[in-house]
Structure 1
């Protein structure tokens, strides 16, 4: 292992954004959702307490925006205890190298995600042929090659605990990526989803721009295992969360969340799995 870190060879700024970009929202007293262009990063920890964690690392070239928001939320010199990744797709690790260099903190991810974070393995290429809207057509421009975090990244504890967040558990929710994880706090039913499901139709450029709120399956152009994705949604719905912060879209809570998530879990094949695409392979049949 090495202390050396680098972004992927295809690391680049992606010129898409939304009306909510840069407008943070306190979802609970200790969960803060901060949209970066079209993806959310999450701060977990109360502003006046010592310890907090960052979940995900935004779009490429967003480090300055994230650091500035951290200063507004927590004050100067309040680095996180660490950074936890729901997965390693480009829009969730876009600023990770800069943030680790700035704060000198460890990164945690699922064991199955480590090859994509240590320069060993590229993700499958995005699918521009998948059923969906304009964002899918744009997806060949999205980076898919691995970043290299060297020995700065380590596997999440195998017992499901979350470093520095004692009340939380991580849940393996593959499908969108092999080592995708979500985070749940049973005490108040808080769920940090990543991209296991999202709260905007991520394939539609217009809906992404205006952040039209609706629970949807994982982004189609980067989801490669639809059977696992179905199982992950059903696993999360069974938790009966009270509030959910997804990787894309506005946080949801209450009856709207429970009703829409139940619908997605029960009718995943019809609502989420595309009719055609490189990674569908007939998986849109009810199991």
Structure 2
């Protein structure tokens, strides 16, 4: 499956400077973000096993060295965000951070609580097929859990490049966290709010379907936290950046509701 320009659907794509100092690496409809400060950098989320090579190429393109990676922050412990984290630990010795509520999930990223079986979604939502195929090609069934982690606090600023502030947004998982870049009015939302639900293939600011969400009511409640950040730009775990402000994104997500 390819796009009209010849790029395979779900192939890695680097978008430099989505906001100053932040670069987006998209692979198989899933986003990682590189927070750069001088020569040092932080990675937010680790996508899939096959994203590792794409990350190395992206770092080279941005004139970054892999050994200057100071930490990987996981917004949550699902397989499509844990990805190559264990490989980074083994090869680089880089610390991996995750909230205590998702520590067990990061070690066992397929053992997640959800409200509905995911297997009916491709039948109900045929537009989910490209994300499913892309994720499988990216190694979605071969993710190794990561056990050697440092725990994220529920709030506070991390001593990592980019100086991200932890924003606790449970619901998608019970330890889900976003990261606020206050000086850039930007919130990395993880899967607390996305602009493409891969389980439905439907664009728009929304919470993720119950096929992968532990508690949709809690996820909807966490939208208040997102709105309260006053962020101008939202960078989600799936989908394109949202540049119309947190309040508008939250209003859209509430209108769509749970699924």
> If the length of structure 2 is used for normalisation, what is the TM-score?
0.81
1:124 deviates by: 2.9
- Aligned residue in 2 for 1:197: 193
Aligned residues: 243
Q: Secondary structure at the match of 2:184?
A: coil
Match of 2:70 among 78, 81, 98: 81
Change (3 A) 1:219 1:100: farther
Match of 1:264 among 239, 252, 255: 252
Uncovered stretches (5+) of structure 2, i.e. residues with no partner: 1-7
Matched, 1:28 2:19: yes
Query: Take 1:164 and 1:68, find their aligned partners in 2: how far apart are those partners?
Result: 22
Alignment of 1:88-237 (within 5 A): 88-119=77-108, 122-124=111-113, 126-129=117-120, 133-134=125-126, 135=128, 147-150=144-147, 152-157=148-153, 159-165=155-161, 167-205=163-201, 207=202, 214-237=204-227
Change (3 A) 1:120 1:53: closer
Change (3 A) 1:20 1:121: closer
Q: Secondary structure at the match of 2:62?
A: helix
**Are the equivalent residues in 1 in contact too, given 2:84–2:144 (CA < 8 A)?**
no
| Deviation per residue, 1:211-242 (Å, 9 max, x gap) | xx521222442012011101111210122211
Query: Take 2:217 and 2:166, find their aligned partners in 1: how far apart are those partners?
Result: 20
More strand by share: 2
Query: Take 2:109 and 2:212, find their aligned partners in 1: how far apart are those partners?
Result: 19
Q: Secondary structure at the match of 1:41?
A: strand
**Are the equivalent residues in 1 in contact too, given 2:49–2:142 (CA < 8 A)?**
no
Change (3 A) 1:32 1:190: same
Query: Take 1:19 and 1:157, find their aligned partners in 2: how far apart are those partners?
Result: 33
Matched, 1:51 2:48: no
Query: Take 1:121 and 1:23, find their aligned partners in 2: how far apart are those partners?
Result: 27
Q: Secondary structure at the match of 1:74?
A: coil
Q: Which moved more, 1:22-31 or 1:81-90?
A: 22-31
| Deviation per residue, 1:147-196 (Å, 9 max, x gap) | 4423x311014552223147431011111111110011222311001000
**Are the equivalent residues in 1 in contact too, given 2:194–2:206 (CA < 8 A)?**
yes
**Are the equivalent residues in 2 in contact too, given 1:54–1:82 (CA < 8 A)?**
yes
Query: Take 1:120 and 1:40, find their aligned partners in 2: how far apart are those partners?
Result: 17
Uncovered stretches (5+) of structure 1, i.e. residues with no partner: 1-16, 208-212, 275-287
**Are the equivalent residues in 2 in contact too, given 1:199–1:249 (CA < 8 A)?**
yes
**Are the equivalent residues in 2 in contact too, given 1:218–1:272 (CA < 8 A)?**
no
**Are the equivalent residues in 2 in contact too, given 1:84–1:109 (CA < 8 A)?**
yes
| Deviation per residue, 1:227-262 (Å, 9 max, x gap) | 110111121012221111100111121xx3446314
More helix by share: 2
Q: Which has the larger radius of gyration?
A: 1
**Are the equivalent residues in 2 in contact too, given 1:22–1:37 (CA < 8 A)?**
no
1:112 deviates by: 0.7
Matched, 1:41 2:35: no
- Aligned residue in 2 for 1:13: none
**Are the equivalent residues in 2 in contact too, given 1:190–1:243 (CA < 8 A)?**
yes
**Are the equivalent residues in 2 in contact too, given 1:122–1:144 (CA < 8 A)?**
no
